[in-house]
Structure 1
Amino acid sequence: MGILPRHMDESMISATVGQPRRPEGFPGQRMRVLPRPLVSKAMASSTTAELLVTDVGFFPRASSHGRARKNGAGQHIVIVCAAGRGTCTLPTGVHSVRAGQALAIPAGLPHRYEADSDDPWTIWWMHLVGRQVPDLLATIGATPEQPVFGLGDPARVVSLIDTIIRRMERDETMATLLASSGAAWHAMALLAADRRTISRQQADPIEATIEHLRSNVSTRVSLAELAGMAGLSVSHYSALFRRATGYGALEFQTRLRMGAARELLDTTDRSIASVASQVGFADPLYFSRQFHRIHGISPTEYRSHDKG
């Protein structure tokens, strides 16, 4: 974390700086915002009232990104910078944010944050409300004086935020809100653990994305998304991934899905179409072709063979 030398008071936070800034609208972005009546309903529940994700998103290489809230936000904000740089202006000063760091802004605190003009950040972010959020931020050690902190394993936190986005893209049921809250709890716990680990080995961003793929076998994750999780360019990520696994990232995903398919074929009586759907293939014929390409036999032939 770095604090730039010029101090800014609250009145400066709403000042216009440099080029016009956009709050959103970036190629490849993903974002979900809960309807505020649904937030009110969820906050009346004893479970989601402890911690609730109200807004979540991913902004890749967000050139000209910036938000200014002279009265602060109604939610606590957590931003993870996976690549590039940015700054956050608080009443305590101007704080620099770079790849591998996170930024926490308490609810109600006036602020402005923006991407660096030369090296715009790629960020994963979430807005949180709930009775336990202030205590979680205190456990992390994030304060208005020190809102930026390093991460030992950024890709694991990013993976959890990605999980929240995927759940909220699916629907807005109570089950989704609970699952999103659980992933947010896990992410905040990792942030706290990072702050309390005095010495640790450098985390491997490739291994972290591989674990994300293993945990989301039925979901196709794009190469750009994986590279964003690791905070690397697509070309650099692809080279490191192939070096680590011997496969391209998309082929590796296909083989993970085929492993899950073999288990279903071995242990259940589900139809081929049902197995295909379970491991993320909408087209059973395409699934069968991919299965045959990898195994040399069809799913039906594989199931008929004696094994064990």
Structure 2
Amino acid sequence: MRVLPRPLLTHALKQPTTSHILVTDVGFFPHAAFHGRWRTSGAPQHIVIVCSGGRGICRLPSGTHAVRAGQALVIPAGTAHQYEADQDDPWTIWWMHVTGSAVPELVETMTAGVDGPVLTLGDPPRIVALFETIIRRMEHDETMSSLIAAAGAAWHALALIGADRRATSPDRVDPVEVTLEFLRANVSERVSVPELAAMARLSQSHYAALFRKRVGYGVLEYQTRLRMGIARELLDTTDRPIVSIAQQVGYADPLYFSRQFRKLHSMSPTDYRAHDRG
């Protein structure tokens, strides 16, 4: 467990890099029997707890939320809370308190809040490794270089939690994620919005809105970007004819493929292949 001295915290929040994100407290509690905290006014920082084993609960104004292995608990700053390890199967947790001007937006990206504070992680070991990095750097010393390194790892961890977030319960399937995985596995096929909405068991309008909120753009553009990502890789790593590449990524008409490629990259596939990279 490491806690920054508060005068150093105040100083770091005035520096260009650490003003955006700063880890103020961090720790690792293995098999933490009888562990718990109760803050009636919340904490000044956002709290992120990653559970790698066992179970726990968190009580917020929105109710009681269960936390299991492979999940993260995110408590916004200033939110009254109480959390504790399960009596029969106490959790093993990695945790940090984090603040800075960029943190609220990162937390919003995770769609975490008092109504949905528990997120199931896509790659828990990777997140845990980043928490280990933060602890090692803050154990090393309290220089600005260590604080910057810890801040970088914290940003990476929060970004990954947001990017790879899953349904809040292992028993609940994320309908958009199901269709995303289908699209990634069937890049060469053009799948319509109605087909995907039916797969997700949602209305077309509801599905399209959820998809855009999750991904950042519409279904057809996402499919095009998936196809073009594979096309770029083939152009970079093979000498295959453009007609063959177009067919592999689902374009029967190579001229249409070239127009779509140019629209996205502002150059033709031939010019892209000739361009120096790396």
TM bucket by the smaller chain? 0.5 to 0.7
Deviation of 1:182 (Å): 0.3
**% same residue:** 63
Q: Aligned equivalents of 1:78 and 1:152: distance in 2?
A: 16
Alignment of 1:57-76 (within 5 A): 57-76=27-46
Indicate the residue corresponding to 2:59 in structure 1: 89
Aligned residue type for 2:65:
H
Name which of 74, 82, 88 aligns with 1:104: 74
Which residues of structure 1 form unaligned runs of 5+? 1-30, 202-308
**What residue number does 2:86 align with?**
116
For 1:45 and 1:169, the matched residues in 2 are separated by: 21
Which of these residues, 112, 124, 128, is aligned with residue 154 of structure 1?
Answer: 124
The DSSP-based 3-state class of the residue aligned with 1:73 is coil
CA shift digits 1:96-131 (9 cap, x unpaired): 000000000011100000000000000000100101
Q: Describe the superposition over 1:196-218 as per-residue Cα deviations: whole angstroms up to 9, x where unpaired.
A: 782599xxxxxxxxxxxxxxxxx
- Report matched runs for 1:22-33 at 5 Å: 31-33=1-3
Highest Rg: 1 or 2? 2
Letter in 2 for 1:119: D
Counterpart among 89, 92, 96 of residue 126 in structure 1 = 96
Distance in 2, Cα, partners of 1:120 & 1:140 = 25
Query: Alpha-carbon deviation of 1:47?
Result: 1.1
- The whole-number CA distance in structure 1 between the counterparts of 2:103 and 2:24 is 13
SS of 1:172's equivalent in the other structure is coil
- How far apart are the structure 2 equivalents of 1:124 and 1:39? 21
C-alpha distance in 2 between matches for 1:195 and 1:62: 25
For residues 221-236 of structure 1, the aligned pairs below 5 Å read none
Paired with 2:177 and 2:148, the residues of 1 have a C-alpha distance of: 32
Please, what TM-score do these two structures have when normalized by structure 1? 0.54
Distance in 2, matches of 1:147 and 1:198, equals: 19
- Mapped partners of 1:168, 1:149: distance in 2: 26
Which residue of 2 is the match for residue 183 of structure 1? 153
Deviating beyond 2 angstroms after TM superposition, the runs of 4 or more aligned structure 1 residues are none
Are 2:168 and 1:198 aligned?
no
Counterparts of 1:70 and 1:76 in 2: how far apart (Å)?
15
Can you list the C-alpha shifts for 1:166-191, whole angstroms capped at 9, x where unaligned? 01101000000000000001001110
| TM-score (ref. length: structure 2) | 0.60
1:53-73 residue CA offsets vs partner (Å, 9 max, x unmatched): 000000000000000000100
2:12 and 2:60 mapped to 1: Cα distance? 30
Instruction: Output the CA distance in 1 between the equivalents of 2:48 and 2:85.
Output: 15
Paired residues, what number? 171
Determine which of 77, 81, 86 is the counterpart of 2:47: 77
User: Which residue number corresponds to residue 138 of structure 1?
Assistant: 108
* Alpha-carbon distance, 1:46 to partner: 1.7
Residue 42 of structure 1 corresponds to: 12
Question: Which residue identity does 1:64 align to in structure 2?
Answer: F
- RMSD after superposition: 1.4
Q: Partner letter of residue 127 of structure 1? A: H
SS where residue 149 of structure 1 aligns? strand
How far 1:143 sits from its partner (Å)? 1.3
State the secondary structure of the residue aligned to 2:101.
coil
SS at match of 1:175: helix
Amino acid at match of 1:175: S
Amino acid at match of 1:114: E
Counterpart AA for 2:13: M
